[in-house]
């Protein structure tokens, strides 16, 4: 019977120790930063609202026979433009940190696709941060946006239905990101504008508005025309 060489034994022992060390690190290492994984089996109340209340109501209103035909929200895209990033890269880092706190997900840095000399912009320069939310995080953000952030908008009179794009997707532009309670005013005193897009499978504005309205989006009510009093 051939004997194993000491060199082979040392390699196997080193490999075993490395695997045990990596396993211990995975078991004990805590998630770093503001983004942490959601608990297993976590359910968002907005998702339950859609399944139990919103979807049956939409099927009844539009006379749909299959639940799969009912409009639903597929994703939410949040974009923050940082024009001063070409001169001060720290502004981009601050915007990325704020968007991470707002969305609960690490954003993607967007870069210029072409150079524009009038704006001192070169191709490849970082100019914005964007995040796309789906599934549980999407419903979680929608719940916080409707319940906590929208009431903090100054002089808010409702979301204008004209913000729909014709296919049932809603685009909302905000002047200040301070409406989100997650943002620290001391670390980020400068208000930043942002664009939020709610993407749905509605296909037209009527179904898209009905879907978001059932889920709690406060739309602006049409103004009632006052009749001229008879003289």
- Domains belonging to the chain, first-starting first, are 71-214 (3.30.1440.10)
**Which structure tokens are listed for 86?**
């070409």
**Euclidean distance between the first and final Cα of the chain, in Å?**
118
Region of poorest pLDDT, from 38-47, 69-78, 104-113: 38-47
Q: What mean pLDDT, rounded, does the chain reach? A: 80
pLDDT at 37: 65
Q: pLDDT at residue 182 above 60?
A: yes
**Cα–Cα distance between 106 and 142 in angstroms, integer?**
17
**Cα–Cα distance between 102 and 108 in angstroms, integer?**
14
Report which of 115, 143, 145, 149 is spatially closest to residue 45, judged by C-alpha positions: 143
Displacement of CA 204 from its chain's centroid (Å): 22
Give me the mean pLDDT over the 15-33 stretch.
Answer: 46
Please check whether residue 133 is in contact with residue 79, taking contact to mean a CB–CB distance below 8 angstroms: no
pLDDT at 113: 74
3-state helix, strand, coil in the chain (%, to 5): 45, 15, 40
**Which structure tokens are listed for 218?**
């406060």
**Cα–Cα distance between 100 and 35 in angstroms, integer?**
7
pLDDT at 33: 44
| 83-107 residue pLDDT tens | 777 677 788 888 889 999 999 889 9
pLDDT at 225: 61
Q: pLDDT at residue 26 above 60?
A: no
Please check whether residue 197 is in contact with residue 170, taking contact to mean a CB–CB distance below 8 angstroms: yes
Report which of 173, 180, 171, 172 is spatially closest to residue 104, judged by C-alpha positions: 180
Region of poorest pLDDT, from 17-21, 177-181, 216-220, 221-225: 17-21
124 versus 230: which is more confidently predicted? Answer: 124
| 113-149 residue pLDDT tens | 777 776 666 777 777 899 999 988 999 999 999 999 9
Q: pLDDT at residue 1 above 70?
A: no
Region of poorest pLDDT, from 180-184, 204-208, 216-220, 221-225: 221-225
Share of the chain above pLDDT 90, in %: 36
Q: pLDDT at residue 220 above 90?
A: no
pTM of the model: 0.76
Q: Which long-range contacts (CB under 8 A, 24 or more apart) does 202-207 make?
A: 202/71, 202/167, 202/168, 202/169, 203/71, 203/167, 203/168, 204/166, 204/167, 204/168, 205/161, 205/164, 205/166, 205/167, 205/168, 207/58, 207/62, 207/71, 207/168
In three-state secondary structure terms, 59 is: helix
**Which structure tokens are listed for 188?**
């980020």
171 versus 39: which is more confidently predicted? Answer: 171
pLDDT at 34: 47
């Amino acid at each position: 019977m051939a004997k194993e060489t000491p060199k082979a034994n040392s390699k196997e022992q080193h490999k075993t120790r490395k695997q045990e060390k990596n396993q211990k690190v995975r078991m004990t290492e805590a998630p770093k930063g503001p983004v942490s994984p959601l608990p297993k089996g976590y359910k968002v109340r907005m998702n339950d609202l859609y399944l139990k209340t919103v979807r049956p109501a939409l099927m009844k209103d539009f006379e749909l026979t299959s639940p799969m035909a009912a409009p639903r929200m597929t994703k939410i895209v949040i974009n923050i433009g940082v024009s001063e990033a070409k001169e001060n890269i720290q502004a981009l880092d601050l915007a990325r940190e704020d968007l991470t706190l707002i969305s609960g997900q690490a954003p993607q840095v967007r870069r210029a696709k072409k150079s524009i000399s009038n704006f001192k912009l070169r191709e490849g320069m970082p100019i914005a941060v964007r995040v796309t939310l789906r599934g549980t995080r999407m419903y979680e953000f929608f719940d916080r946006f409707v319940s906590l952030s929208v009431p903090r908008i100054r002089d808010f009179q409702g979301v204008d239905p004209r913000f729909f794009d014709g296919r049932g997707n809603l685009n909302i532009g905000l002047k200040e990101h301070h409406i989100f309670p997650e943002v620290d005013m001391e670390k980020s005193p400068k208000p930043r504008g942002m664009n939020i897009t709610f993407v749905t499978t509605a296909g037209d504005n009527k179904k898209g508005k009905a879907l978001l309205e059932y889920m709690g989006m406060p739309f602006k009510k049409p103004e009632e025309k006052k009749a001229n009093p008879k003289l």
